[in-house]
Every structure is written in C-alpha cells, then in structure tokens.
Amino acid sequence: MQPIRVFIDGEAGTTGLQIRDRLANRPDVRLVAIDPARRKEPVARAEAMASADIAVLCLPDEAAREAVALAASLPGGGPRLLDASTAHRVAEHWVYGFPELSPDQPDKIAQARCVANPGCYPTGAIALLRPLIDAGLIPSDFPITINAVSGYSGGGRSMIEAYETGKAPAFELYGLGLEHKHLPEIVRYAKLTRRPIFVPSVGNFRQGMLVSIPLHLDALPARPAAGDLEAALAAHYRGATYVSVVATAGLLRLEPEALNGTNRLELFVFRNEAQAQAVLVARLDNLGKGAAGAAVQNLETMFGLASVEPALV
C-alpha cells in the first residue's frame, strides 16, 4: 500500500504543528510540503492540495471555508478534507469526527469525503452526555451546566504568548456572554434539545483539560444512582481504544495534565449517594483527543490505517 499523501494547510499553527509531529515518522503517511514563504499563496496551496489524498485544515474558520472552496475548484473536487476548525462541525454533508459517538460513526467517517474534527470542550461534554441521553438516564431537555478548564494552548497564539511571557492571569473564566462557539455542536451531537449553560475557563498550564457536569440525581426523572450512570458509560465505550471509564473510589482530586501527549479520554462519575448528587468529569489533552490526536485518529479511520498512539510526554 502506498503512503497516504497528507497536506496540512495551516501547518504553522499549534494544531498543525502537533499533527505534523504525530505523522512525521509514520511509514504509511507522506507529508506534502509547501515552501513556508508561499504558504498563504492560493496557487501554491492549490498545487499542494492537488497532489494530496487528504488536506487537513488547521485554519481560522473563514480561511477554512475558503480552503474548502479552493479544494472544490480542483479537478475531481480535490482531495478529501479533514477540517480542524469550527467552520463545518454542524454543516450539511460533513461527518462529525468523533468515532466513539455511536457504533456506526467509524463507518460514516471511513466513507466520508469531508470530516469535521470535534472541538476540545465538546469532545468531553458529548462523551459524557450522549450515552446517558441515549440510555434514557438524562432527558434531552434536562437543564445542564457544563464547567470546563483548559490549558492556555487552546487559546491561540496571542493567549499562548500572554501566558508564556507572564502577562496573563493565573486563572480566568471567559465566554461569559454565554454564546461560546462550541455550543451548537454540543447541542447537536449530545442530542440535547435544551441549550446548556457552558462556562469555560483557562488556567496557567500549557495543555490538558477537565470538563465537568454536576447533576442532582433526584431531579432526573429516572432517578438513577451514580452507578447507573457509570454503567451506561462503560457499556457505551466497551472496547474503545482511546476512551475509558475510570473508577472513582478513593479519588477526591483530579488534575488536568495526566493525559498530555496522548489521544486518550478518561471519564469519571464522582458521587455522594447520600445527597443524591454526582459530578461527571472528562479528562483529556486539549491538543490530543481535543485536537491533533483526534485528527490523526480520524485520518486513520478515513484511510484504514493502523492506529498509532503517541508516547506519553
């Protein structure tokens, strides 16, 4: 089998660099290079796309839409596309690139011409909510609050610079207009019919993420025990390569950086049965399963490549 030719459009950004590093030494992949001085020239990008089997878009949303139009103008409609931006996550004719979403999702990704990589926060939120909604343990219209903290690398070049030069605060909430751009995909792919309250935050660490969802169990119509939630999650992800449900006995603290450098996603159900309360938590690397790792997994799924997990850093 010939190596898959991959063009990373936007290779100089954080996600693009991470994807390149994860693919660089693979014998089943050949990276299509472009002169750095010409990386913004449409002609040079079109030439690179035309020579590739797939273009991975690591661009701002509007630039990603322009790249899709550029690809469509090429003979045969251009290469297959994997978009790491927000631009196409709820767009028609794009397949959502979360293979663990449902049993048939890997086949959809494998057959798709255009795949949208999930957002980092939605990966954690959807991973927790979708199985429980499918199981009837949480109603689709239940009032949900999602709290999350990410490392600063998810905020782009200006935020990275602010933190690494000591100009940023140690911790801050943001998105307090309650209109975060990740909400549409959370609503769609978690199968929510009521818009959740989403409160993201950023901490003074480079990468890593925790997404948490508090629940009053006695307010749920099914009145499940926390163990019922954990069992439903475990059943959904049984056999998954990268997603695991972790027992919480004895755990009273959780830090966000434990999975950095991997494509793993851990899910937890913390509980106080006497108070009928639970907190669902997802832990992931925002640059791993939340971005570059997910992109590589999707590329593997699209082309039937062997799954390769990067070493833990």
Whether residue 126 is found in the same domain as residue 84 = no
Check whether residue 111 and residue 152 sit in a common domain: no
User: What pLDDT sits at residue 282?
Assistant: 98
The pLDDT of residue 310 is: 66
Q: How many domains does the chain have?
A: 2
Give yes or no: residues 208 and 262 share one domain. Answer: yes
Q: Are residues 182 and 256 in the same domain?
A: yes
Choosing from 23, 71, 120, 148, the catalytic residue is 120
Range of the domain at 47: 4-117+291-303
Bridge partners of residue 83, in order along the sequence: 57, 116
133 shares a domain with 111: no
pLDDT confidence of residue 164: 87
Cα–Cα distances in angstroms (integers) from residue 207 to residues 6, 25, 155, 284, 311, in the given order? 25, 23, 10, 9, 16
Q: Is residue 45 predicted with pLDDT exceeding 50?
A: yes
Catalytic residue status for 58:
no
**294 has a pLDDT exceeding 70:** yes
The model's confidence at residue 79, banded by pLDDT at 50, 70 and 90, is: very high
pLDDT for res 152: 94
* Interatomic CA distance for residues 298 and 230, integer angstroms: 26
279 & 131 share domain: yes
Here the CATH number for the domain that contains residue 31 is 3.40.50.720
Instruction: Tell me: do 83 and 177 sit in the same domain.
Output: no
Residues 102-152 have pLDDT tens digits of 999 999 999 999 999 999 999 999 999 999 999 999 999 999 999 999 999
Higher-pLDDT residue of 148 and 12 is: 148
Quote the pTM value.
Answer: 0.94
Q: How many CB atoms lie within 10 A of CB 70?
A: 17
**Do 173 and 109 sit in the same domain of this protein?**
no
Distance of CA 88 to the CA centre of its chain: 13
Give the model's confidence band at 313: pLDDT under 50 very low, under 70 low, under 90 confident, else very high: very low
